[in-house]
Structures are given as structure tokens and as C-alpha cells.
Amino acid sequence: MRAFLPTGDPAQPVVIAEVPEPTPRPDEVLVRVEAFSVNRGETFKLEAPVRGERPGKDVAGLVVQPAADGTGPAGFARVVGHPMGGGWAEFAAVPTSALAVLPDSVGAVRGAALPLAGLTALRLLRAAGPVLGRRVLLTGASGGVGHYVTELAAAAGAEVTAVTRDAERGARLAELGAARVVHDLSDAHGPYDIVLESTGGEALAGALARLARRGLLIWFGQAGRRAATLDFFDFFNGPESAVIRHFHYLDADTTIGHDLATLVHLTAQGRLHPEIGRVADWAHTATALTDLRDRRIRGKAVLTLS
């Protein structure tokens, strides 16, 4: 079968090659991939690829071989899955615990846009706790995660302030429910009950300064790729006794499959709208990766297999 392999070259991060078809473990299904999405974090990992690993975590397609242990969907079921690798290919082996069935109303393109970004947003808001009536500040809001967080948090009753440098992307975040959109962190005045920070560098200290006393800051990314420095005494200027929590989307009490099913259900009901900035044939995967890395794509990029 054909699959994308990493090159280590930032200008051409992947190339297509012939590789053996995966052999599923007893608790895995074999999926014929119809669409997959790429994530900005994956572009960073491709700069220093691990020998033998194949990239790809977000896939949608058709089950062509059910799991040998009898778990998961039957053959020919349409599914969305989140394997830990190998998804940018014609076929992917996906654990049954990381699958959800797609209804007819949710196509493969929208399904493929859900997993990593949607799981991160859903679990991030669970970590934040009840948000009804709470003031929430979201940095780095114009990516795939940011759109999902904005829509889910606003629907749950939060007053969301989204930070994005792009006016067009800001207008879309307002449509999804953001109460305020600012183009620089300095324009977000606060104080905020909850801060969801994904930029790192100087932005972390700036976001912390806008947190309310005993508030919660969840640090879920470092998209700016710059280390952050905090001063202990800054807490006394406003966010006294605040909590800073590190977040990783795989550290959860529910299975990936359970939460994927929730995301699919919300999408099917028109309560969640995957923000897809580009859909292209998978031959253009390398270009999509470099454009996503350089912030030329709003939301998600999805590649389709003919």
C-alpha cells in the first residue's frame, strides 16, 4: 500500500512510498482510509522524526477487517479513528477503543477533522470544570483546538474572550460564540476565572497576569515554541493563590472512543462545527503540512484519498 513517510526536511516533510499493509492486533480493526487530517503539532515532530515511525493520528474511512477479538464495529462500518500513528496511508490499523461510528450525516472529511483537536478541546473543558457564567480567556484561538473550545465553552454558558491576530479568523470565532475577540493579549483586560493558554513564551506570564484571584490557568500548548518564565511574586499582583495546571489530552478517565462518539453526536446534531480551512487530495499533504506549520490555514486541514 502507499503511505507517507517522514523525510526530516522542513521544505518537504513527507514523501509517499510503498510500505507493507498493517497487520491489526486482535483488538484493532483495519480501516481503508478515506480522509485524514494533519495537526500543527505533528509538523513539529516531523522536524526530528523517529526512525521507523509513520505519522498520522486522525483518520476516517471504512472498516474492511473487524477486530479478531469481537470488539468494535462490524465490517463495512463507516468510522472515525485516532490511532497513535500510521494514519497517513491507504490503510490504518486502529484500536477499537479509539473508534467511533460515523452516521450518514457526517461525511469522512468532517469526521477526520474531529479527533486530536476535538478530543483536546473536550477534555480541556472537562479539566477546567463548570464554565457556566465564568469568564474564560483563550489564547491561540484560531487553530483547530481553539475553534472547538470556543464553540463548546460558549454553548456551556462561558463568557469567552478569544485571542487571535487575524481579523477574519476572529470574526469566525465570534460566530461560534466568543463574547469578545482581541488581536493582542494586551487588549484582554480581565480578570478571568479561567485561562486556557497554548502559546507559551511571554504569553504565559501575560495570561497569568489577567487571571483572577484563586483562578485556574491550564497550560495546554507552546505553539510559539519559546520557553516561558514566571516570577513567583507576580502572583501577588492579582492571581493570588491561583492554580497552574499542565494538560495533556491523553490523560483522561474516558476512552478515546467514548469521547469521539460524543464529538460525532454533537456534529451530527449541528451543535459542533469542525472548522476546516483546507480540503485537498492527499497528493498535496506536504504542502498542507508546511502551510499549517506557517499558519496559512485556518482551523483544520483535511486530505482525501480517491
CATH number at residue 239: 3.40.50.720
Does residue 268 sit within a domain?
no
* CA torsion through residues 281, 284, 290, 295, sign: negative
Q: Are residues 150 and 43 in the same domain?
A: no
Q: Are residues 103 and 143 in the same domain?
A: no
**Residue 225 pLDDT greater than 90, yes or no:** no
Does residue 259 sit within a domain?
no
Q: Are residues 154 and 221 in the same domain?
A: yes
- Is-contact 256 98, C-beta < 8 A? yes
How distant, in Å, are the alpha carbons of 26, 61, 87, 173, 202 from that of 71? 9, 18, 21, 39, 47
**Residue 302 pLDDT greater than 90, yes or no:** yes
Does residue 41 sit within a domain?
yes
Poorest-pLDDT segment among 48-52, 53-57, 258-262: 48-52
- Is-contact 264 238, C-beta < 8 A? no
Does residue 33 sit within a domain?
yes
Q: Are residues 125 and 239 in the same domain?
A: yes
- Confidence tier at 192 by pLDDT (50, 70, 90): very high
Q: Are residues 127 and 233 in the same domain?
A: yes
Q: Residue 290: count other Cβ atoms within 10 Å of its Cβ.
A: 16
- Confidence tier at 166 by pLDDT (50, 70, 90): confident
Q: Are residues 125 and 152 in the same domain?
A: yes
Does residue 44 sit within a domain?
yes
pLDDT at 141: 92
Q: Are residues 102 and 127 in the same domain?
A: no
pLDDT at 116: 97
- Is-contact 56 88, C-beta < 8 A? yes
pLDDT at 227: 87
Phi and psi of 58, rounded to 5°?
-120, 110
With H, G, I as helix, E, B as strand and everything else as coil, classify residue 65.
strand
The percentage of residues in the chain with a pLDDT greater than 90, rounded to a whole number, is 88
pLDDT at 228: 85
pLDDT at 224: 79
Please state, in angstroms and rounded to a whole number, the distance separating the CA atoms of residues 43 and 94: 21
Q: State the DSSP H helix or E strand holding residue 304, giving kind and residue range, or none if neither.
A: strand 300-304
pLDDT at 306: 80
Please state, in angstroms and rounded to a whole number, the distance separating the CA atoms of residues 137 and 295: 21
SS3 assignment for 193-258: EEEEECCCCHHHHHHHCCEEEEEEEEECCCCCCCCCCCCHHHHHHCCCCCEEEECCCCCCCCCHHH
The grid coordinates listed for 72 are 468494535
Structural domain boundaries, residue 77 = 2-114+274-304
Q: Are residues 17 and 66 in the same domain?
A: yes
- How many domains are contained in the chain? 2
Q: Are residues 209 and 278 in the same domain?
A: no
Nearest partner of 30 among 19, 73, 104, 3, judged by Cα: 73
Q: What pTM was estimated for this model as a whole?
A: 0.95
Identity at 103, one-letter amino acid code:
P
pLDDT at 229: 87
Q: Are residues 106 and 126 in the same domain?
A: no
**Residue 223 pLDDT greater than 90, yes or no:** no
Q: Are residues 286 and 189 in the same domain?
A: no
Does residue 258 sit within a domain?
no
Does residue 283 sit within a domain?
yes
pLDDT at 59: 98
Q: Are residues 164 and 237 in the same domain?
A: yes
